[in-house]
């Protein structure tokens, strides 16, 4: 049995043992038994055993060697006993018949044995490969600098890598157990405790959901608040059924703490800068109105322009910080967006020679924060002026779509590179950083505009082509008409 599955076939051992067996028979018959009476039984029984055994042990080759040696042994007996006539003929026929039988046995049993070896070898190799793959995966998992949590669908058991246990500071079964309605009071999403069903890994396991980058706050047993970014995905078997789920957990607490400290700094610094800048503005206005000398007036005007930029920067910084900390509040009222658009257009027309054309409009009443929507409009319009460098008209349109109003601002300026249309709405993203001096800015305007529009349940987007221009759109829900009684 120890030879099953192994392919190290030998022909030496079958040859030696078979020859040895026949020498043994000879010795037994002539020296011990002193009679040839038992020879025929032994001469048939032993070759059968030998051929079968060696076919099984060494495949076709082993059985074949035993068979051939047996045929020679028979011939040796026929010739050494000086058979003649019909006795010799029947001896030779029997030898031929038995020889053919042994070779056939060797082919059948040896062939079967070789086939079994091939199958068992392949299976062993597959098992070995699978085990190696498992070990490799296990090592990678254990070495990863992110937490990995795996849930098994059948046993509802959780396993985790070392890093995961380091993040949560506990053995995994103390951190998460499968119990329906298990609420983790130590982990939060949007400051609410999370029920087990809402854990990303359970959503992946039970509902096949793929959870991308969810932020979870986790309070560790040492009271430290951790900020985790969690992904999860189901693992499906070949029949498409969910067999497990995997979740990766990235601890970004250090980055978050730095970000919070930076936000605090920006918040405090902008608050502190706001008052002196307002005073400078007032003094400059006084200087401009009092200055007699045109040179002094020009200098004062320049100071006013630069202070205006500074004021915009500080107020944008404050807005970003308010948005980050959720402290931007909105005072909503009903107003006509068409009037606000006309007002913003005419006010900005005073600052540029470029024609700003209000091409299409309608009476659009919205329920929104007028000051903040005005901020969005001026941001999009000043960008259109800035990034078109006096080229072509700037067209503003208002039209309705279902229950919303859409405002579009089209320019024929430098346009936006393909693939950057979403990025320009990110905080501090500047699309033309190589042309920074040509187009001054801080990359905060569109981020603030997007957040304002989102919080009014609207949408903001852009269609653009490099060197052909851009059209910015934003939508707002129209205010519901009051029913007449
Ligand atoms: P800023 O204009 O201060 O850089 P914004 O947040 O207002 O910041 O805009 C972000 C980026 O979007 C800009 O740097 C610019 O590359 C791109 N952008 C905005 N409006 C336009 C426009 N009308 N045409 C071309 N690019 C634009």
pLDDT at 435: 54
183 has pLDDT over 70? no
Confidence of residue 271 (pLDDT cuts 50, 70, 90): confident
User: pTM score, two decimals?
Assistant: 0.60
pLDDT at 259: 85
* Residue, of 313 and 44, whose pLDDT is higher: 313
CB of 432 shorter than 6 A to ligand 1: yes
Confidence of residue 393 (pLDDT cuts 50, 70, 90): very high
pLDDT in tens, 422-446: 999 998 888 765 554 567 778 899 9
CB of 424 shorter than 6 A to ligand 1: yes
Query: 437: which 2 tokens?
Result: 């001096």
Question: How far is ligand 1, taken at its centre, from the CA of residue 375, in Å?
Answer: 15
pLDDT at 38: 66
CB of 384 shorter than 6 A to ligand 1: yes
Q: Which of 7-21, 148-162, 400-414 ranks highest by mean pLDDT?
A: 400-414
pLDDT in tens, 27-56: 888 787 766 666 777 778 889 999 999 998
Of 430, 433, 437, 468, which is best to mutate to test ligand 1, by the most ligand atoms within 8 angstroms of its C-beta? 430
Average pLDDT, the chain: 88
CB of 443 shorter than 6 A to ligand 1: yes
CB of 460 shorter than 6 A to ligand 1: no
Quick one: average pLDDT of 285-313? 92
15 has pLDDT over 70? yes
């Amino acid at each position: 049995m120890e030879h099953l599955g192994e392919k190290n076939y030998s022909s030496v051992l079958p040859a030696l043992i078979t020859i040895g067996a026949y020498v043994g028979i000879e010795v037994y018959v002539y020296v011990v038994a002193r009679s040839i009476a038992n020879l025929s039984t032994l001469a048939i029984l032993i070759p059968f055993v030998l051929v079968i055994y060696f076919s099984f042990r060494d495949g076709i080759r082993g059985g074949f060697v035993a068979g051939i040696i047996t045929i020679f042994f028979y011939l040796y007996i026929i010739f050494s006993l000086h058979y003649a006539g019909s006795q010799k003929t029947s001896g030779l026929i029997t030898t031929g018949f038995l020889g053919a039988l042994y070779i056939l046995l060797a082919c059948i049993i040896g062939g079967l044995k070789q086939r079994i070896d091939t199958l068992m070898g392949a299976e062993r190799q597959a098992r070995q490969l699978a085990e190696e793959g498992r070990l490799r995966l296990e090592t990678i998992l254990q070495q990863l600098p992110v937490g990995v949590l795996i849930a098994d669908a059948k046993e509802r058991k959780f396993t985790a890598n070392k890093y995961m246990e380091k993040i949560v500071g506990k053995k995994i079964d103390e951190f998460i157990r499968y119990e329906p309605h298990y609420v983790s009071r130590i982990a939060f999403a949007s400051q609410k405790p999370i029920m087990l069903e809402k854990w990303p890994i359970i959503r992946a396991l039970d509902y096949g959901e793929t959870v991308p980058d969810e932020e979870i706050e986790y309070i560790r047993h040492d009271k430290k608040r951790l900020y985790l970014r969690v992904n999860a995905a189901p693992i499906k078997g070949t029949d498409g059924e969910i067999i497990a789920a995997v979740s990766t957990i990235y601890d970004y607490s250090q980055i978050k703490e730095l970000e919070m400290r930076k936000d605090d700094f920006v918040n405090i610094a902008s608050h502190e800068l706001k008052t002196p800048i307002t005073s400078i503005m007032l003094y400059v206005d006084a200087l401009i109105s009092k200055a007699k000398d045109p040179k002094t007036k020009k200098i004062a005007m320049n100071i006013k322009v630069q202070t205006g930029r500074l004021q915009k920067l500080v107020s944008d910084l404050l807005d970003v910080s308010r948005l980050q900390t959720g402290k931007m509040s909105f005072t909503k009222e009903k107003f006509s967006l068409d009037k606000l658009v006309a007002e913003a257009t005419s006010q900005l027309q005073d600052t540029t020679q470029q024609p700003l054309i209000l091409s299409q409009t309608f009476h659009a009443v919205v329920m929104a924060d007028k000051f903040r929507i005005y901020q969005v409009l001026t941001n999009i319009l000043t960008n259109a002026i800035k990034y078109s460098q006096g080229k072509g008209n700037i067209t503003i349109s208002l039209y309705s779509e279902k229950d919303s109003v859409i405002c579009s601002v089209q320019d024929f300026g430098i346009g936006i590179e393909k693939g950057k249309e979403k990025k320009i709405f990110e905080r501090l993203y500047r699309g033309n950083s190589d042309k920074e001096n040509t187009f001054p800015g801080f990359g905060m305007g569109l981020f603030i505009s997007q957040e304002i529009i989102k919080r009014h349940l609207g949408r903001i987007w852009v269609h653009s082509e490099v060197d052909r221009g851009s059209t910015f759109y934003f939508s707002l829900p129209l205010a519901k008409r009051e029913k007449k009684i």
